[in-house]
Structure 1
Amino acid sequence: MNQSLIEQLNLWHEDDKHQYIVDTLLAIPKDEWDYEALIRLGRAYNNLGLYEEALHHFEKIAEQGQQDPLWHYRVGFALFHLKKYEDASQVLRTADMLEPGDPNIEYLLTLSLQKAEKQHRQELRIAAKRKNAMESNRSTGDYVPFANMSLDDFWEDSEYAKKSYLSEPPTDEMIVSIEEELGYKLPSSYIALMKQQNGGIPKNTSFPTEEPTSWAEDHIAITGIMGIGREKSYSLCGEFGSPFMIEEWGYPDIGVVICDCPSAGHDVVMLDYRACGRDGEPEVIHVDQENDYEITFLAENFETFISGLVSEEEYDTSEEDKAEDLYKIAHGKFSPLLEELCSQVTEVDQVEMKIRAVCTKVVEEKGHFSFHADELSYLMYDVQFWLYTKSHPNTNREQYLNMYDKMIAFGGEFGQGGYAPAWITEWLEHRINEGRILQEDGRLRLADQFTLELINRIREI
């Protein structure tokens, strides 16, 4: 491979144009592929999240790569993201021996070893539970849910809970219907709790963990417990219930999403039926979208999970987190893309300060920096779309969704550190259905009247 092509591929890599690298290298006849071409092709596939394809190409140069720490690192990177942590650890150990002291290799090796150990513990726990499933005391018929726990003061009384969670107590017919739709038998302790109150927000919303998650070092938090039904948004088969989270958000199809969390979709609590089968007593797990849907064991069963909930005050860092987000919004540097887009605006004076002002209101209202489906979030979705399509008028739907995260979601200093793609697609569909965003020959643009309304609204901030 000639030097000018290598330099071009390196530039594309730095600019995150990984599909350009793939397309260019695939256009070269295969008999002209050399080691440099294939290791760069594998790296590009890794960066596109196509890890199996990356491994396929790395395998072609396995013999040549045995003394190359980069080959071992990139193979380990692919295996890590395929959750083959033990295999990743082995390959990364070799990379570390070939190039000791490399921080990227050391970091990924440490992470792989930690996750391999966690994965091994999980496999042992599931195997043990399967072995002992038939010996459970709960099969004797003597089990009475929550016999040693009072539920009189369990639930928070709030209008939001009544609107989004709380349904009438489930009938036996409703329970059977929901179980049939989900494909799983619900735990008797969960059914007992729902007959006491069918969904809602508990007063205690934190659960201690032995391992860190994207939420905290030592606990997870829930927003509410989904009820048995379809009517309320946060019921098992409601608008944002278990099927929605699995089908639309990509959560693993191993059970039932039972609790939503404050991250608005970035993590959930699930009933896990892998060890017990669809009719058995499921474990309770935390699933972390932020960490590639990593699973953390919480409790042996639902009753243990409920009885283990503690007050958020035991872990409350909300004021510190809010202060950090407010400082970031006031002083954080905009991403290169957002900075460039703002520099093209002539319709609004000091548009950067307007954006910071709206985001400050978001944090003041929510306590953290994230966009969901509320009015201020929709305003920021609109603003970002206006900024981008103003400078890139030929943008189609796929292009916009692919670059959205480069403005604020993963904006570096002035950024949220993550986002839920479903919120963006829902906003886009909503605006299209309203006629405020138009599709013309595959291109997207704001309707003229809505553009004027949006500009005036930004000016008034």
Structure 2
Amino acid sequence: MNPVHIEQLNQWHEEDKHQQIVDALLTILEKDRDYETNNRLGRAYNNLGLYEEALHHFELIAEAGQPDPLWHYRVGFALYHLKRYEDAVKALRNADQLNAGDQHTESLLKWSLQKAEKQQREQRRIEAKRKAALESHGTAANQVLLANMPLTDFWEESEYARNSYQSEPPMDDLVISIEEELGYKLPASYITLMKQQNGGIPKNACFPTEEATSWAEDHIAISGIMGIGREKSYSLCGDLGSTFMIEEWGYPDIGVVICDCPSAGHDVVMLDYRACGRDGEPEVIHVDQEDDYEITFLADNFEAFISGLVNEEEYDTSEEDKHAALDKVAHGKFSPLLEELCAAITDVEQLEQKIRRICTQIVEEKGHFSFHADELSYVMYDVQFWLYTKSYPDTSREQYLTIYEKMITFGGEFSLGGYAPSFITDWLDRRLQEGRIVQDNGCLHATNLFVDEVVQQLQSA
């Protein structure tokens, strides 16, 4: 390769311009690509999340890559993200043997071993359940009817629950219609519960787990249980229901989403029909989008799940969480991008401290560090937009929505750790409708009046 070309590729890699690397290297005919070219192509595809394509290019140089620990690591990286954990373990062990003590290899190998073990347990459980279902010929499926569980004090009463979740108890023809639309027979115990109250927020909203998830080390939490219907947003076939979560959020098409969670879409609880078939008694699982849709087994059936719910007071760490969040916003290191943007500003003195003060107010009000659709969150959306477009004025909507998460959401110690993109698009649409942000030749700009408002907000913080 031309040294200048390599220098350009290295620069693009540092700038996360991986598609440009791919485009440049694909101009070289496949027969003319050497080891370095295919290795860089594979790495770029890995960074784009195109792991099958990455493996293809690594396989082209497999023989030459055997003594190269970096080649084995990159292969293991792709296999890990394809959920081929046992194969990933083999590749990463080779990398570790060739270059012992590498921190990245050791960490990914540890995670791969944990995931492989979990995947094996899941496969054994599913196989056992399939065998049991075949032997019983499905005779037990309709016997689970919450007979031993008192339901009189199960639901939380609130206007939000009535407006977003709760519908009239379903008639049999509606149940059949919903089942046909979803393609799955709903558990008898779930139908029984919905005929008592069709959707809502349970008083006990936590479920213990033996494994950690993105929510907690020892439990998951649900926001509500979806009812049988189409009318309410959080009903099975509502606009934020099961089909929406599978088609729009990418959750696995292995069953029915029955519970949303406090993460605003980043994890859900599902009925899992892989072991029992579409007409059998499904297991209940937690699916974690934050961990590449990681599946964690919760209960053998819906009744066991409902019976196992416990009150959040058993896991109340609110004071500790608030203290940690306050420490984060007071002392956490800004992301490289946020540091760069703040350094370019001369309009506001002590800008970093003022940003931290606004975020401290957010934590004081909510008890945690998160941006939603409230007034202070909108202030922070405004601040981030002003900071970014001041340094990068020729920014399109698509570019901004892509770069947004690198400022505060996932950028560094001073970060939210997650977000729902709809909050950002809703904020941007609102500012465009208000005329505070305008779009000119495909680029977004804050009006002078809006800039003055943002600067005044910061100066008064």
Superposition TM-score, scaled by structure 1 size: 0.92
Q: Which stretch of the first structure deviates more once superposed, 321-330 or 414-423?
A: 414-423
**Secondary structure of 2:268's aligned partner:** strand
Deviation at 1:419, TM superposition (A): 2.7
Deviation at 1:32, TM superposition (A): 4.0
- What are the within-5 Å matches in structure 2 for residues 198-347 of structure 1? 198-347=198-347
Cα distance 1:430–1:182, how it changes in 2: closer, same or farther (>3 A)? Answer: farther
Q: Does 1:196 align with 2:196?
A: yes
Deviation at 1:199, TM superposition (A): 1.7
Q: Deviations over 1:28-62 (max 9, x none)?
A: 44444221222122111111111111111111111
Deviation at 1:178, TM superposition (A): 2.5
1:49 is matched with which residue? 49
Cα distance 1:266–1:140, how it changes in 2: closer, same or farther (>3 A)? Answer: closer
Deviation at 1:405, TM superposition (A): 1.2
Separation in 2, partners of 1:371, 1:8: 37
Deviation at 1:284, TM superposition (A): 0.4
Deviation at 1:235, TM superposition (A): 2.1
Deviation at 1:117, TM superposition (A): 1.5
Deviation at 1:85, TM superposition (A): 0.8
1:148 is matched with which residue? 148
The one-letter code matched in structure 1 to 2:88 is A
Q: Deviations over 1:339-391 (max 9, x none)?
A: 22223334444443332233223223332222233443333223212221222
Q: Which stretch of the first structure deviates more once superposed, 206-215 or 381-390?
A: 381-390
Cα distance 1:180–1:455, how it changes in 2: closer, same or farther (>3 A)? Answer: farther
Separation in 2, partners of 1:275, 1:287: 16
Superposition TM-score, scaled by structure 2 size: 0.92
Q: 5+ unaligned residues in a row in structure 1: which ranges?
A: none
Deviation at 1:285, TM superposition (A): 0.3
Indicate the RMSD between aligned Cα atoms, in angstroms. 2.3
The one-letter code matched in structure 2 to 1:41 is L
Deviation at 1:210, TM superposition (A): 1.6
8 Å contact from structure 1 (residues 194, 227) kept in 2: yes
**Secondary structure of 1:319's aligned partner:** helix
Deviation at 1:237, TM superposition (A): 2.4
The one-letter code matched in structure 2 to 1:265 is G
Cα distance 1:124–1:160, how it changes in 2: closer, same or farther (>3 A)? Answer: same
8 Å contact from structure 1 (residues 432, 438) kept in 2: yes
8 Å contact from structure 1 (residues 249, 422) kept in 2: no
8 Å contact from structure 2 (residues 266, 288) kept in 1: yes
Separation in 2, partners of 1:141, 1:340: 59
**Secondary structure of 2:303's aligned partner:** helix
Q: Which stretch of the first structure deviates more once superposed, 47-56 or 32-41?
A: 32-41
Separation in 2, partners of 1:427, 1:438: 13
**Secondary structure of 2:139's aligned partner:** helix
8 Å contact from structure 2 (residues 141, 281) kept in 1: no
Q: Which stretch of the first structure deviates more once superposed, 139-148 or 150-159?
A: 139-148
Q: Which stretch of the first structure deviates more once superposed, 443-452 or 408-417?
A: 443-452
Deviation at 1:273, TM superposition (A): 1.4
Q: 5+ unaligned residues in a row in structure 2: which ranges?
A: none
Deviation at 1:108, TM superposition (A): 1.2
- What are the within-5 Å matches in structure 2 for residues 323-402 of structure 1? 323-402=323-402
Separation in 2, partners of 1:236, 1:379: 35
Cα distance 1:185–1:262, how it changes in 2: closer, same or farther (>3 A)? Answer: same
Deviation at 1:271, TM superposition (A): 0.9
Cα distance 1:69–1:445, how it changes in 2: closer, same or farther (>3 A)? Answer: same
Cα distance 1:431–1:273, how it changes in 2: closer, same or farther (>3 A)? Answer: farther
8 Å contact from structure 1 (residues 255, 272) kept in 2: yes
Separation in 2, partners of 1:71, 1:91: 9
**Secondary structure of 1:271's aligned partner:** strand
Cα distance 1:136–1:420, how it changes in 2: closer, same or farther (>3 A)? Answer: farther
2:122 is matched with which residue? 122
Deviation at 1:134, TM superposition (A): 4.3
Separation in 2, partners of 1:315, 1:270: 22
Cα distance 1:141–1:132, how it changes in 2: closer, same or farther (>3 A)? Answer: closer
**Secondary structure of 1:236's aligned partner:** coil
